[in-house]
A and B are shown apart, each in its own frame.
Chain A
Amino acid sequence: MHFAVLQFPASNCDQDCVHAVRALGHTASLVWHKDTSLGAADAVIVPGGFSYGDYLRCGAIARFSPVMQAVRTFADQGGLVLGICNGFQILCEAGLLPGALVRNRDLQFHCEPVFLRTANRETPFTASIPAERPIRLPIAHGEGCYFADEATLSRLQAGRQILWQYCDAAGALTEAANPNGSLLNIAGIANERFNVAGLMPHPDRASEAILGGDDGRSLFESMAAAFATRAASRAA
């Protein structure tokens, strides 16, 4: 499987993402934000960082980069797109995911491991994630507080589009386990078609035991399994 990892000015997790998917035996290439083609990508990762210095709003300027038109077309055709951290903010600004990420409730930048409950395991981003326990991934953000109006939240719940929620080590969704004030403890969501997803925590930074944990692998493995299933059904 071939991943296209986008690169904006001030992306800083692009290489982490490339490394993470290569370590799983996939191929990856970096795609500069001024490019208008994603090449032969089977999936797209919009990585973390501080694209355009977070000027105006996080992700607000990156969404107008030429490559984002290619990402939109790719997503419209059903291609898998994953946004991590700043990538999640960009996908929300671009309207590819609903809602917005605002300043953390306590105004602090949070750089720490969190536990996540996978709320829907029947998606291309979550199917290989262990069911029996919460996963542990690092966060590193100042604007990760998920906000959407009530109608949008209801739609997300009804459509099972909430994929990950902040929880404690036992899997309980508590206020104390919510690092940034996100509504419904939301850490990550998907679009209605479940081919575009975004999350604030970093699976790319937790993909090998040497990094302190490898729970992040299961997310990329989910994408690879979903892609393999699709490829097999197309061939049949």
Chain B
Amino acid sequence: MKAKLIVTPKKAVLDPQGKTVQNALEHMGYAAVTGVHVGKYIEIDLAAGTDRVAARKALDEAAHKFLSNPVIEDYQLEIVD
């Protein structure tokens, strides 16, 4: 069992990394690209048989308190087998 966490910069926060990647994609000719946001992906291994609801609740708290910074980032949490 795993938790997958995707952390992205909030829209209001300057994302120079995303902007630079976007510029490069445009230079490469990917004309349809209208925005790029660079974040991070965190994979957390969980013991088999862990209660999903409890795991989600605990990791939601960890994501809010530690794994992301709510001032500058949003996150999506997914629990998979």
Contact = CB atoms under 8 A, between A and B. Distances in A.
Contacts of A149: 12, 71
Contacts of B14: 102-103, 105, 145, 147, 181
Contacts of A64: 66
A93 B71 CA distance: 9
Nearest to B40: A56
A45 B69 CA distance: 23
A93 B12 CA distance: 19
Nearest to B71: A100
A106 interface: yes
Interface string A7-47: 00000000000000000000000000000000000000000
Contact of A107 (B17, B69, B71, B72): B17
B17 A103 contact: yes
A60 interface: yes
Nearest to A149: B12
Residue among A102, A106, A148, A181 with max Cβ neighbours from chain B (10 Å): A102
B67 A103 contact: no
Interface string B17-51: 10010000000000000000000000000000000
Contact of A60 (B9, B17, B20, B69): B69
How many chain B residues sit at the interface, stated as a range, is 10 to 19
Contacts of B66: 56, 60, 64
Contact of A106 (B12, B16, B71, B72): B16
- A interface SS class: loop
A147 B16 contact: no
A99 interface: yes
Contacts of B17: 103, 107
Contacts of B12: 149
Interface in A67-112: 92-93, 98-100, 102-107
Contact of B16 (A56, A105, A148): A105
Nearest to A106: B16
A98 B69 CA distance: 12
Nearest to A152: B71
Contacts of B67: 56
Contacts of A106: 16
Contacts of A98: 71
A100 B13 CA distance: 10
8 contacts: A56-B67, A92-B71, A93-B69, A102-B13, A102-B14, A103-B14, A106-B16, A181-B16
Given A102-B14, A149-B71, 8 more contacts: A56-B67, A98-B71, A100-B71, A102-B9, A102-B72, A106-B16, A149-B12, A181-B14
Closest 10 CB pairs of A and B: A100-B71, A100-B72, A107-B16, A147-B13, A105-B16, A100-B69, A102-B72, A181-B14, A147-B72, A57-B69
